[in-house]
Chain A
């Protein structure tokens, strides 16, 4: 936005998705309402997810779904299905196996915290 020559600004490689990310990110940064978890365990377990799962506005043809709008129940079930192989996947099965039951619940509670 600031700079037409950056990847998202001008060359068209990823289309003009930056503008939409900007909106989502700005809103997250300034408008998110209070929650109680602090910089806690659920947050620390969940931070890695953002390296692949972008805000909805930033996802494109890449096919990695955004987690926005997903409740804790959905996320916990999805992780358990990837872990057991009930859901077919490329990489999520390999990743979900890295978390125990309790951690899956903590991740789901954190990511799903605004959906209740």
Chain B
């Protein structure tokens, strides 16, 4: 890249840029920040601390060398994208932004230091933890962590996504794929229903007699009227949803016979996608950051209410009413980065605002969304009244196509904001 090209691109890039100028930094901020987990929350936070305060040393501890986004992984299941289409690397975070990236599992966040799996330590003045979710593997009779190799959750993207895709490909025409979504709260409330549409999208082309059966632990779900409208329009009877009360609640799984037991009888399946109930990532439990399943935080700074100096963001933290989404984690990552930089400069925190838009695909060209703007009232995060909401019903094909296009635009923008 020639220097002149850089400068031209730079000049164009300055105005209207959402990225903070280096000048926006708090000049006095000094210190060491360790971020655990390089996903939607952690990658964003690591980058923004460096942008806001280049003098601060930032170390990102991430166990994997590559990150697969859950967003758009349902398109992989639907055969619309290769797995590489949701894969990202950490190279730019280190080479372009000066984040020190350490690929290792973190064992624990100790006092003033993060202890890595091999026993080595990374010292910090402030830590930020964004480890995502882990599962309760023991809540469903007949299921176990080991059985995830036969009954994939695909609720962390990567090998699990590839496995579930292979199972769909191997399924006979006329077969049934069962999806078992968990009760609230869980990662990505509309995710299981987007997934049902992507299964059906693939079946419609490759196995037109196949069925998608959703046996739900809930009575209703996110964007339900919009999903149901879209399913009827594109897939007719192919997708069936049963609420918990209507016999949807699964009571046991049998991996040998591939059956799901419900109150109303047994369902035979060719593919079972059981999405177990969830909790904060294991390291949060091992580091004294949890109360029950999740991590309580100050909703302005995302500092743990249990451990001063340690911030928790993303799926692991309690940020209701924000949903557990990648967009939320990204939004919280920036707020926490600003709070950390201000704290390191000896400044008082200022209240951030957050946004979330969750796009879902019904088909690759039929998108729907739910959006909201959020503020913290100091205790909890509230959605701003009169704003937000879901896409209109009966909006027409053009509106749906635009939202599908915007979903792709969102994916590019947010992954650029995290990684590039």
Contacts and interface: CB of A to CB of B under 8 A. Distances in A.
Contacts, number: 276
Contacts of A49: 18
Contacts of A111: 16-18
Nearest to B23: A34
Interface of chain A, main secondary structure:
loop
Interface string A20-56: 1111111111111111111111011111111111111
Interface of A: 1-3, 5-11, 13-14, 17-18, 20-41, 43-64, 66-71, 75, 90-91, 94-99, 103, 111-115
B89 A2 contact: yes
Given A57-B9, A91-B369, A98 B338 contact: no
Interface residues of B, number: 82
B7 interface: yes
B81 A13 contact: yes
Contacts of A115: 15-16
Most buried by B among A24, A36, A50, A51: A51
B16 A66 contact: yes
Contacts of A25: 19, 92, 96, 416, 420
A52 B410 contact: yes
A110 B348 CA distance: 20
Nearest to B353: A45
16 contacts: A1-B91, A5-B84, A6-B66, A23-B6, A25-B19, A27-B7, A27-B10, A39-B26, A39-B338, A47-B18, A90-B403, A90-B406, A91-B369, A98-B386, A112-B15, A114-B21
Contacts of B411: 62
Interface in B340-395: 341-342, 347, 350-355, 357, 369, 371-373, 384, 386-389, 391
B89 A59 contact: no
Nearest to B383: A98
Given A39-B25, A67-B16, A50 B369 contact: no
Q: Identify the 5 closest CB pairs spanning chains A and B, nearest first.
A: A62-B409, A98-B373, A2-B91, A27-B10, A98-B387
B321 interface: no
Contacts of A59: 409, 412-413
B15 A97 contact: no
Most buried by B among A22, A64, A71, A90: A90
